[in-house]
C-alpha cells in the first residue's frame, strides 16, 4: 500500500489530546475496531474510558496509526517522537500551519516526520469502514462493509456529508488531505486503490498537486476495472493574464481542469449527489463500456421526462431494432407503442414472468438500461406490489449480462434498506432522475490514454508581447502559412514599399494584444492615402487581404501553472469570446485528439459543409495545432501563442492574426 498500509489499516491506534481524542475512541468502539487503542496524556489517568499512558515511551509498542489532537507546537514534538520509534503514521488534526501563513512551521512538521506518513495538518483524518478503524474526531454516517468505494476530500465537512448519504452506497474509506504537507492527492489515491476491497474512487479537491501522478493512478485504476470520479472545486477564470488574449479568457483554470480530468479518464461531476451516484454505478459495474441506453417505465409522463432530459446528453437512446420491436409487440399487445424511451404501460403489472421477458427483450439490444420506478415509501405504504418489477429488473440484468439501473424520479423515493439489499446483489439503484442521468453519462467517460501524461509545469515568469510581424516570422519558419505583408516603424516607411502588395490590404498597428478593440486595424485599403498614425503603435504591418475562407478559427496554446500547457480551439474572429464555442485540451495531444475535439464544437457543422457550404480543410487545422504544440515544446521561453483568426479554406489555412508572448524573467 505504498508504505501507508499501517496508517490506513492499523492494528493499533494511539490518540493524543483529550476531548477530540475521546471522540476518536468512541467512534472506534462504535464501529467495532478489534485492535489496540492507546491513549496518551501527561496529566489524565484515562481518556475516553481507556487507561492513559503518560508518554510515548510508556506505550506497549510503536502504534500503527496515531491521532494527534494537540496544538501545533506539541504536534511537532509528538510527530518527531513517533517517527523515531518507527510508528506507522499520524493524523495531524490541529490548524495553524500554512493555511494561517505559517509555512515555516509546516516545513518543520514534514522534517519531524522524517518520512513517516502523515495526513494533514489541519486534517480530520481517516475512516476505514472495512476494518472499523475510525481515526476521526467527529460523528459520521457510515457503516461497516466488506467492500466499497473510497472517498478523498480536501474538505472535512464535505467528507462528513458524504458519509451521511442514505442511498445505500457502500463506503470503504474516507480520508481527508488537509494541507497535504507530505501525502498528496495522487499518493493517497494510489494507497487507497491498492486495497483490493476498494471498488472505485471519488475525489473532492480544490487543487491537484501532481497531475501526472494522478493521471497514472487513474489509468491504472481503469486497467483494473475501477473508475475514478471527481469534483474539482474552486475553478475560476484566469486572472490578470486574461487581458492578454482571447485564449487566456476562454481557457481559464476551469477549462484546463476539466480537460485534464477528461484526458486522464477521470469522470467529472459538479455536485455531491452526482459524485455519490457515479460511485454507485462504478461500484456495481466499473466504468460503463457503452453509451447506448434504453429506458423503460410504466408511465408516459416518466418516458417523456427521460426523453426531454436526454435530448442533449452524451447518452444515446436509439429506437429498438425491428426484431426487438416485433418481440415487444407480441409481449405487450397492440395498445403499446414500441419506442425508446418505452412506456410499457400497466397491462403486464404484477406479472413477474411477462415483465421479465419485456425487460430482457428491451435490454439485450443496448449497452445498459434505466428502469424508472419509484417504490412506495415503506413507512406509510406497502411496497410489495412493486417488488415484481424490481425482481424483473434483476432478472433481466442476469439474463443479458447488461447493467440495469432502477431509477427513482425523486431522490428520496428509494428506501435505503431496499437500496442496500439491491446493491448487495449487484444492482445499483439511482436516486433522482436528473442526477441519475448525469451520473450514468459520467460513468461512460472514456479511459485516458494509458501512457498520456501532461507536460511538467514551468515556473511562472513575467512575459512580454512580441510584435505581430516578429511573431509571424516565427510561425512562418515553423511551416505556417501567413499573408503576404511588409512591416515598418512608421507609416512613411511603409509607404515606400506598399507597391509590393496587391490591394486590397489590411493595415495594422503593432504592439497591441487586441488590435480591434484598440482601433489599430484598418481593412480593405487600396493605398495609404489619408492614413494617420495610430496612437500607441510600435510600428505598422500591411498585409494582403485573405480571401476564399470557409471558416475563421481560433487556436491558442499557452503555459499552465498546474497542467503544463493547454491548447484551445474554436470558432474565432473578433466574436470569439461572444460565441464561446471552444474546447480546451491539455498538451500533449495527437492528431486524433484534435480531430475528435473539433467534433465537440457546437458550430462544427459550419466546418463540414452545413447546408451546402464549402467544406473546411480540417487537416490544415490539425496541422496548425500540432505545429504550435511543437513550438511550445521546443521553445520553453514561449509562454503563449494565439492565432485568431486562422482563415481556413477548402484547401489549406492562413494565420491572419498572431500573438506570441515570451518570458522575460
For the segment 365-394, what is each residue's pLDDT rounded down to a tens digit? 999 999 999 999 999 999 999 999 999 999
- Long-range contacts (CB closer than 8 Å, 24 or more residues apart) made by 622-626: 622/591, 622/594, 622/595, 622/598, 623/653, 624/480, 624/555, 624/653, 624/655, 625/555, 625/557, 625/567, 625/569, 625/589, 625/594, 626/589, 626/591, 626/594
Q: What does the pLDDT look like over 166-178, one tens digit per residue?
A: 999 999 999 999 9
Q: What does the pLDDT look like over 17-72, one tens digit per residue?
A: 989 999 999 999 999 999 999 999 999 988 888 899 999 999 999 999 999 999 99
Burial class (CB in 10 A: 0-12, 13-18, 19+), 318: exposed
CB neighbours of residue 161 within 10 Å: 16
Evaluate whether 442 touches 278 at the Cβ level (below 8 Å). Answer: yes
Q: Given pLDDT bands bounded at 50, 70 and 90, which one contains residue 572?
A: confident
Return the closest-CA partner of residue 460 out of 361, 564, 553: 564
pTM of the model: 0.92
pLDDT of residue 576: 61
Q: Given pLDDT bands bounded at 50, 70 and 90, which one contains residue 574?
A: low
Q: Which of 59-68, 111-120, 228-237, 625-634 has the lowest mean pLDDT?
A: 228-237
Q: Can you say whether residue 459 is alpha, beta or left, with left for phi > 0 and alpha for psi between -120 and 50 degrees?
A: beta
Evaluate whether 247 touches 220 at the Cβ level (below 8 Å). Answer: no
pLDDT of residue 134: 96
Evaluate whether 199 touches 283 at the Cβ level (below 8 Å). Answer: yes
pLDDT of residue 575: 61
pLDDT of residue 617: 96
The residue written with cell numbers 480591434 in the block is 516
Q: Which whole number is the average pLDDT over 145-151?
A: 98
Q: Given pLDDT bands bounded at 50, 70 and 90, which one contains residue 580?
A: confident
SS3 label, residue 388: helix
Return the closest-CA partner of residue 282 out of 373, 386, 374, 171: 171
pLDDT of residue 577: 65
What does the alpha-carbon distance between residue 130 and residue 31 come to, in Å, rounded to a whole number? 10
Q: What does the pLDDT look like over 199-224, one tens digit per residue?
A: 999 999 988 989 999 999 999 999 99
SS3 label, residue 582: strand
Return the closest-CA partner of residue 284 out of 119, 397, 194: 397
CB neighbours of residue 249 within 10 Å: 17
pLDDT of residue 559: 95
pLDDT of residue 235: 61
Angle in degrees, CA 197, 198, 201, rounded to 5:
180
pLDDT of residue 141: 95
Q: Which whole number is the average pLDDT over 509-519?
A: 88
Cis amide bond preceding 645, omega within 30: yes
pLDDT at residue 1 tops 70: no
The set of cell numbers assigned to 647 is 482563415
pLDDT of residue 238: 41
* C-alpha count within 13 angstroms, C-beta hemisphere, residue 394: 16
What does the alpha-carbon distance between residue 435 and residue 165 come to, in Å, rounded to a whole number? 14
The residue written with cell numbers 416518466 in the block is 302
Q: What does the pLDDT look like over 451-463, one tens digit per residue?
A: 999 999 988 889 9
The residue written with cell numbers 454516517 in the block is 141
Eight-class DSSP state of 529: T
pLDDT of residue 254: 86
pLDDT at residue 140 tops 90: yes
SS3 label, residue 18: coil
Q: Which whole number is the average pLDDT over 419-439?
A: 97
pLDDT of residue 511: 93
Q: Given pLDDT bands bounded at 50, 70 and 90, which one contains residue 242?
A: very low
| Through-space distance between the first and last CA atoms of the chain, rounded to whole angstroms | 42
Residues near 173 by Cβ (< 8 Å), separated by ≥ 6? 8, 126, 127, 128, 129, 130, 150, 151, 192, 195, 198
The set of cell numbers assigned to 454 is 501532461
pLDDT of residue 608: 92
| Torsion angle (degrees, nearest 10) of CA 79, 80, 85, 86 | 70
pLDDT at residue 464 tops 60: yes
Evaluate whether 628 touches 555 at the Cβ level (below 8 Å). Answer: yes
pLDDT at residue 438 tops 90: yes
The residue written with cell numbers 415487444 in the block is 328
Q: Which whole number is the average pLDDT over 337-360?
A: 94
pLDDT at residue 245 tops 70: no
Strands (E) in 206-340, as ranges, are 228-232, 267-268, 293-297
Q: What does the pLDDT look like over 295-317, one tens digit per residue?
A: 999 999 999 999 999 988 899 99
Amino acid at each position: 500500500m505504498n508504505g501507508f498500509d499501517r496508517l490506513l489499516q492499523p492494528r493499533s491506534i494511539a490518540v493524543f489530546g483529550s476531548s477530540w481524542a475521546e471522540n476518536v475512541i468512541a467512534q472506534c468502539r462504535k464501529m467495532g475496531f478489534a485492535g489496540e487503542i492507546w491513549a496518551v496524556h501527561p496529566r489524565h489517568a484515562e481518556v475516553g474510558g481507556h487507561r492513559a499512558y503518560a508518554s510515548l515511551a510508556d506505550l506497549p509498542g510503536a502504534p500503527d496509526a496515531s491521532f494527534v489532537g494537540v496544538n501545533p507546537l506539541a504536534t511537532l514534538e509528538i510527530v518527531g517522537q513517533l517517527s523515531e520509534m518507527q510508528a506507522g503514521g499520524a493524523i495531524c488534526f490541529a490548524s495553524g500551519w500554512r493555511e494561517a501563513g505559517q509555512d515555516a512551521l509546516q516545513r518543520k512538521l514534514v522534517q519531524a516526520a522524517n518520512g513517516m506518513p502523515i495526513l494533514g495538518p489541519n486534517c480530520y483524518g481517516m475512516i476505514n469502514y472495512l476494518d472499523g478503524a475510525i481515526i476521526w474526531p467527529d460523528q459520521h454516517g457510515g457503516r461497516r462493509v466488506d467492500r466499497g468505494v473510497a472517498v478523498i476530500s480536501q474538505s472535512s465537512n464535505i467528507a462528513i456529508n458524504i458519509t451521511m448519504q442514505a442511498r445505500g452506497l457502500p463506503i470503504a474509506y474516507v480520508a481527508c488531505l488537509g494541507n497535504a504537507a507530505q501525502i498528496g492527492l495522487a499518493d493517497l489515491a494510489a494507497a487507497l486503490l491498492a486495497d483490493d476491497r476498494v471498488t472505485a474512487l471519488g475525489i473532492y479537491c480544490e487543487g491537484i498537486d501532481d497531475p501526472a501522478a494522478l493521471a497514472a493512478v487513474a489509468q491504472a485504476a481503469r486497467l483494473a476495472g475501477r473508475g475514478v470520479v471527481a469534483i474539482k472545486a474552486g475553478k475560476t477564470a484566469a486572472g490578470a493574464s486574461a487581458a492578454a488574449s482571447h485564449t487566456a479568457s476562454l481557457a481559464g483554470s476551469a477549462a484546463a481542469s476539466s480537460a485534464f480530468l477528461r484526458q486522464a479518464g477521470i469522470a467529472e461531476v459538479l455536485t455531491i449527489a452526482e459524485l455519490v451516484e457515479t460511485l454507485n454505478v462504478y461500484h456495481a459495474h466499473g466504468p460503463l463500456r457503452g453509451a447506448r441506453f434504453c429506458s423503460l417505465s410504466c408511465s408516459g409522463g416518466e418516458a417523456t421526462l427521460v426523453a426531454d432530459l436526454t435530448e442533449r446528453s452524451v447518452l444515446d437512446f436509439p429506437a429498438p431494432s425491428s426484431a426487438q420491436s416485433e418481440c415487444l409487440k407480441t409481449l405487450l399487445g397492440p395498445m403499446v407503442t414500441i419506442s425508446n424511451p418505452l412506456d410499457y404501460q400497466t397491462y403486464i403489472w404484477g406479472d413477474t414472468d411477462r415483465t421479465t421477458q419485456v425487460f430482457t427483450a428491451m435490454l439485450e439490444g443496448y449497452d445498459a438500461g434505466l428502469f424508472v420506478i419509484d417504490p412506495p415509501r415503506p413507512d406509510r405504504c406497502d411496497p410489495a406490489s412493486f417488488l415484481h418489477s424490481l425482481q424483473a429488473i434483476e432478472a433481466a440484468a442476469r439474463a443479458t449480462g447488461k447493467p440495469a439501473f432502477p431509477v427513482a424520479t425523486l431522490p428520496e423515493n428509494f428506501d435505503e434498506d431496499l437500496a442496500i439489499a439491491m446493491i448487495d446483489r449487484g444492482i445499483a439503484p439511482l436516486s433522482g432522475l436528473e442526477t441519475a442521468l448525469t451520473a450514468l453519462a459520467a460513468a461512460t467517460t472514456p479511459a485516458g490514454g494509458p501512457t498520456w501524461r501532461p507536460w511538467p509545469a514551468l515556473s511562472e515568469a513575467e512575459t512580454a508581447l512580441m510584435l505581430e510581424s516578429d511573431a509571424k516570422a516565427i510561425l512562418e519558419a515553423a511551416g505556417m502559412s501567413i499573408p503576404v505583408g511588409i512591416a515598418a516603424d512608421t507609416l512613411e516607411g511603409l509607404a515606400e514599399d506598399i507597391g509590393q502588395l496587391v490591394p486590397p490590404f489590411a493595415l495594422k498597428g503593432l504592439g497591441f494584444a487586441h488590435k480591434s478593440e484598440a482601433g489599430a486595424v484598418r481593412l480593405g485599403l487600396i493605398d495609404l492615402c489619408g492614413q494617420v498614425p495610430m496612437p500607441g503603435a510600435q510600428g505598422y504591418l500591411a498585409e494582403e487581404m485573405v480571401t476564399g475562407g470557409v471558416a475563421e478559427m481560433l487556436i491558442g496554446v499557452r503555459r499552465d501553472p498546474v497542467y503544463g500547457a493547454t491548447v484551445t480551439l474554436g470558432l474565432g474572429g473578433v466574436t470569439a469570446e461572444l460565441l464561446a464555442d471552444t474546447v480546451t485540451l491539455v498538451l500533449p495531444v495527437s492528431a486524433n485528439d484534435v480531430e475528435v475535439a473539433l467534433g465537440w464544437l457546437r458550430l462544427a457543422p459550419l466546418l463540414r459543409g452545413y447546408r451546402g457550404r464549402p467544406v473546411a480543410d480540417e487537416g490544415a487545422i490539425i496541422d496548425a495545432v500540432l505545429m504550435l504544440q511543437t513550438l511550445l515544446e521546443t521553445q520553453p521561453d514561449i509562454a503563449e501563442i494565439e492565432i485568431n483568426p486562422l482563415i481556413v479554406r477548402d484547401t489549406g489555412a492562413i494565420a491572419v492574426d498572431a500573438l506570441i508572448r515570451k518570458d522575460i524573467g
